[in-house]
Amino acid sequence: MTFAVSASGPFNRMHSLDAIFKPRSIAVIGATPRPGSIGREILGNLFANEFNGKIFPVNPKYEYIHSTKTYPSVTEIPDPVDLAVIVVPAARVLGVVQECAKKGVKGLVIITAGFREIGPEGAKLEDAIIAVASEHGMRMIGPNCMGVIDATPEVRMNATFSPGVPPSGTVAFMTQSGALGVAILLAVQKLGLGFSYFASVGNKADVGAMDLLEYWEDDRHTQLIAMYLESFGDPRRFTEMSKRISKTKPIVVVKSGTSAAGARAASSHTGSLAGLEVASDALLQQCGVNRVSSIEEMIHVVAGFVGAPIPRGNRLCIVTNAGGPAIMAVDAADGHGLQIATLSETTRAAMRKALPAEASVENPVAMVASADHDQYERVLDLALADDHVDLAIAIFVPPLMIEPLEVIRRITKVARARAKPVYSVLMAEESYYERIPREVPNAVPIFRFPEDAVKVAEHTNRYRLWRSRPAGEVCSFRVDKALARKWVEKKRHTGGGYLGPEETREILEAYGFPTVRQAVVAVEGDMRAAARSLAFPVALKVVGEKIVHKSDVGGVILGIPDEKALALARDTMRASLERAGVLGHATGFLVQEMAGDASGKEVILGVAQDPKFGPLLMFGMGGRYVEILRDVAFRVLPVTDIDAREMVRSIRSFPLLQGVRGESPVDVEFIEEMILRLAQLVDEVPGVEELDLNPVIVTPDRASCRVVDARIRVAAVDGTGRSRPSG
């Protein structure tokens, strides 16, 4: 017997956020005819955009507003209400939300401010609202936001107080700041870019970036997702989702809170603390997000993605009627992943025919200043037809007699016909930038300066690389997890802190790191026994939780050739420690076999905990100058094999690892493996607060690579089993 399966594909599946973005009826609670008020603007926008559903103003003071019957309370509306947009004063919001629950409202957009962002009192009120909403299964946007827009043709809802009618298009936009939201809406409208959705999420009491990413992932109207973020909700979820979604839809993110001052502003602003900058950088880089550093750059990049196809390669051709801007473009492209294309002889010959003798048909193709629309069309077409060209920048500085709109029209025509991206630089009088979106339908992206166009090309090219990049795998090596956990747990139950040298070595060995043979000797202990178990030459080091940089206090002596020298070295070291005033901190000495040789390079592998992002993995050039060189790369978990590969290659000194001046390259693959092993360790062994392997001496042969200095600090476990950072 067979059963019929219902044909409910992704398009007719109901999503809980449909209550907010696809309502059939909206109550505007706090609607008012009072000029200059938000309650009036929102109602006005819903009418002006011809919302495809019912609208119910709610305000006990009015019988009707804008000729529309007005209700004293949401519970008195006779029809069902899907969405309530709430603009009443903060003190009344909770009561209104309770009424919405009674009425069976499914979605809330709370515009009102005065909650978590103002302090503990506000936070309490916000928590009470969250409780009511979640108890009744209502999804909520805000509070402290500027509303939402669904500009898709079938809904046409503008439930914001931003002026203007947002055109319908393919960009879904989320912002954590309402004020910036207004600015962006206006800027984007000017460019003629259209939205699918817009959401100002404010305090993110319920709906946040992750929910929206998920909602827009399958949405057929949305081709690009743009976000202004001040903080991430759950960084690990964000990574996983954006990794997946960015494979099909570009995600452009402006992440603010970059400086320490910025982070403080972010926390007072929407009541959330911004993540550590290095962590958010690592995170965004890892998940294919196009990170931009300003709103302006975001608008450019969005325009670039929406107005042109993704390039199929990185070979750029520049066509121009002016020398200076073309030189600027070439300079800007240098070293950012773009290549200046070499045009084929056929292309150049054809261009020569199309242009006067003074023109240059090398790339940049410099037509004469008087080049007209016909020449732009012909030359750009030849450039795009060339198999050595993947994308083009067409620069036009209008001389008096040439009509810019016609030039842009022709550039657009060829770009569309050849289906390759063309970014246009128009250095014209102000009015043209507003006329083009209205008068040249489907125009190529237009920028005012060559650097802007190049920046966009960089982004789209990077996105191309990301799309073709394999996702990679999180690796799992055979390790002795139980042993590592045993040592960490033991320390955690005795107050936490730094593990001793022997436990540290055992943990590292349990996870397959190559350590050096070593022996620990008490401060007054006998060096001879230690020396007998090791092969000379050896290194002598001081041991002590409080001694962080041993070399700084004379606590490292290298290359000790024999037993006699070892005894002497100990005396020397004690004297140095005494002088530095740290002899009392020494709990013993460590005798280690010497590792590495002339071919060795020192790298660092490390782990730090970020309060928001969890464990951060670090790799870089190691040794004593780490802090000065700062040549390191960070990743958040999960770290895949591809991430490890990119991490190693992303540091400036990578060429040193490959060998310079006839040196052999070190075993880079083994470094990648160690990164993955470290990722596995922090994932499997809870409580590691800080870990430093500095240096790991790496050599051409993995068999002689060694970790020669390691420190692991673990968190104490308190009575309830929660961990807290140890001193």
Residues interacting with ligand ADP, by CB under 6 A? Answer: 516, 539, 541, 549-551, 556, 558, 592, 594-596, 602, 623-624, 695, 708-709
Percent composition of the chain: helix, strand, coil (DSSP 3-state, to 5)? 40, 20, 40
At 711 the three-state DSSP class reads: strand
Q: Which is nearer to Mg ion, 274 or 604 (CB)?
A: 604
Nearest residue (CB) to ligand ADP, 172 versus 539 = 539
Residues of span 165-224 touching Mg ion by CB under 5 A: none
CB of 711 to Mg ion, least distance (A): 8
Decide whether 272 or 699 has the Cβ nearer to ligand ADP. Answer: 699
Q: Is 694 in the site for Mg ion (CB under 5 A)?
A: yes
Q: Which does 572 bind (CB under 5 to 8 A by kind): ligand ADP, Mg ion, none?
A: none
Q: Please calculate the CA angle 87-90-94 and round it to the nearest 5 degrees.
A: 90
Phi, psi for residue 350 in degrees, rounded to 5: -65, -40
User: Among ligand ADP, Mg ion, none, what does residue 348 contact (CB within 5–8 Å per kind)?
Assistant: none
For residue 342, is it left (φ>0), alpha (ψ between -120 and 50) or beta? beta
- Least separation, in Å, of the C-beta of 616 and ligand ADP? 20
Binder of residue 539, out of Mg ion, ligand ADP, none (CB less than 5 to 8 A by kind)? ligand ADP
Least Cα distance to 281 among 253, 307, 301 occurs for 253
Q: Taking the complex as a whole, how short is the minimal distance between the CB of residue 694 and Mg ion, in angstroms? A: 4
CB 128 within 8 A of CB 97: no
**Pair 168, 182: CB distance under 8 Å:** no
CB atoms within 10 A of CB 285: 20
Q: Which is nearer to ligand ADP, 13 or 549 (CB)?
A: 549
Binding region for Mg ion (CB under 5 A) out of 286-294, 606-614, 678-686, 708-716: 708-716
The two tokens of residue 696 are 């790991």
Cβ closer to Mg ion: 348 or 541? 541
CB 514, min distance to ligand ADP, A: 12
Given ligand ADP, Mg ion, none, residue 290, with its beta carbon under 5 to 8 Å by kind, binds none
Q: Which span (213-221, 260-268, 474-482, 686-694) binds Mg ion, by CB under 5 A?
A: 686-694
CA–CA gap between residue 486 and residue 510 (Å, rounded): 11
DSSP result, 658-707: H-STTPPPP-HHHHHHHHHHHHHHHHHSTTEEEEEEEEEEE-SSGGG-EE
Tell me the site size for Mg ion, rule CB under 5 A: 2
* Residue 558 CB, nearest approach to ligand ADP (Å): 5
CB of 661 to ligand ADP, least distance (A): 20
List beta partners, residue 497.
Answer: 714
What does 166 interact with, of Mg ion, ligand ADP, none (CB < 5 to 8 A by kind)?
Answer: none
Name the burial class of residue 465, with classes exposed (0-12), middle (13-18) and buried (19+) by CB atoms within 10 angstroms of its CB: exposed
> What letter would DSSP give residue 85?
E
Contact of residue 551 among ligand ADP, Mg ion, none (CB under 5-8 Å per partner type): ligand ADP
Task: Rank residues 24 and 624 by Cβ distance to ligand ADP and give the closer one.
Answer: 624
Q: Which residue lies nearer to Mg ion by CB, 169 or 695? A: 695
Tell me the closest approach of the beta carbon of residue 550 to Mg ion, in angstroms.
7
Cβ at position 709, least distance to ligand ADP in Å: 3
Tell me the pairing of strands 706-707 and 446-447.
unpaired
Separation between Cα atoms, residue 407 and residue 403, nearest integer Å: 7
Q: Is 239 in the site for Mg ion (CB under 5 A)?
A: no
Residue of 18, 86, 17 lying closest to 53 (CA atoms):
18
Residue 549 Cβ vs ligand ADP, minimum distance, rounded to whole Å:
5
709 binds Mg ion (CB under 5 A): yes
Nearer to ligand ADP, 298 or 698 (CB): 698
Q: How far is the CB of 595 from Mg ion (least distance, A)?
A: 13
| Residue 7: how many other CB atoms lie within 10 Å | 6
Could you give the C-alpha distances from 67 to 57, 63, 175, in angstroms and in order? 10, 9, 33
Shortest distance in whole angstroms from residue 604 CB to Mg ion: 8
Assigned token pair, 544: 């002590």
The piece of 49-57, 66-74, 397-405, 702-710 that touches Mg ion (CB under 5 A) is 702-710
Between residues 62 and 513, which has the closer beta carbon with respect to Mg ion? Answer: 513
Smallest distance from ligand ADP to CB 477, Å: 24
Residue 518 CB, nearest distance to ligand ADP (Å)? 8
Among the candidate windows 65-73, 169-177, 629-637, 693-701, which touches Mg ion by CB under 5 A? 693-701
Interface segment toward Mg ion; rule CB under 5 A; list 442-450, 571-579, 610-618, 689-697: 689-697
Q: Name which of Mg ion, ligand ADP, none residue 635 binds, using a CB cut-off of 5 to 8 Å depending on partner kind.
A: none
| CA–CA gap between residue 292 and residue 290 (Å, rounded) | 6
For 313, counting Cβ atoms within 10 Å of its Cβ (0-12 exposed, 13-18 middle, 19+ buried), the class is middle
In whole angstroms, what is the distance from residue 309 CA to residue 251 CA?
A: 15
702 binding partner (options ligand ADP, Mg ion, none; Cβ < 5 to 8 Å by kind) = none
Residue 492 amino acid letter: R
- 380 vs 384: CA distance, rounded Å: 6
Among ligand ADP, Mg ion, none, what binds residue 239 when CB lies within 5 to 8 Å by partner kind? none
| Residue nearer to ligand ADP on the CB measure, 516 or 530 | 516
Q: Which of ligand ADP, Mg ion, none does residue 491 bind to, with CB < 5 to 8 Å depending on kind?
A: none
Nearer to ligand ADP, 308 or 594 (CB): 594
Residue 416, SS3? helix
Comparing CB distances to ligand ADP, the nearer of 541 and 635 is 541
Residue 448, contacted partner among Mg ion, ligand ADP, none, CB below 5-8 A by kind: none
**Closest separation between CB of residue 541 and ligand ADP, Å?**
6
| Shortest distance in whole angstroms from residue 650 CB to Mg ion | 23
CA distance 697 to 675: 14
Nearer to ligand ADP, 98 or 551 (CB): 551
Q: Which string of x and - marks every residue 466-485 that binds Mg ion (by CB under 5 A)?
A: --------------------
Residues 6+ apart with CB under 8 A from 442: 307, 412, 416
From 106-114, 158-166, 491-499, 707-715, give the range in contact with Mg ion by CB under 5 A. 707-715
Length of the chain: 727
By C-alpha distance, which of 623, 675, 609, 626 is closest to 646? 675
CB 696 to Mg ion: min, Å: 10
| Residue 610, contacted partner among Mg ion, ligand ADP, none, CB below 5-8 A by kind | none
Q: Are 358 and 368 in contact (CB under 8 A)?
A: yes
375 contact partners, CB below 8 Å, separation of at least 6: 354, 355, 367
Residues 6+ apart with CB under 8 A from 9: none
Could you say which of Mg ion, ligand ADP, none residue 592 binds, taking C-beta under 5 to 8 angstroms by partner kind? Answer: ligand ADP
Closer residue to ligand ADP (CB): 113 or 558? 558
The distance of closest approach from Cβ of residue 717 to ligand ADP in the complex, given in angstroms and rounded to an integer, is: 28
Q: Is residue 504 close enough to count as binding Mg ion by CB under 5 A?
A: no
Binding of residue 363 to Mg ion (CB under 5 A):
no
Distance CA 373, CA 379 (A): 10
Tokens of 209: 């970036």
Spatial neighbors of 438 by CB under 8 A, at least 6 apart, are 192
Which two tokens mark 393? 């920048």
First to last CA, the chain: 68
Distance CA 720, CA 727 (A): 19
Q: Catalog residues that contact Mg ion under the rule CB under 5 A.
A: 694, 709
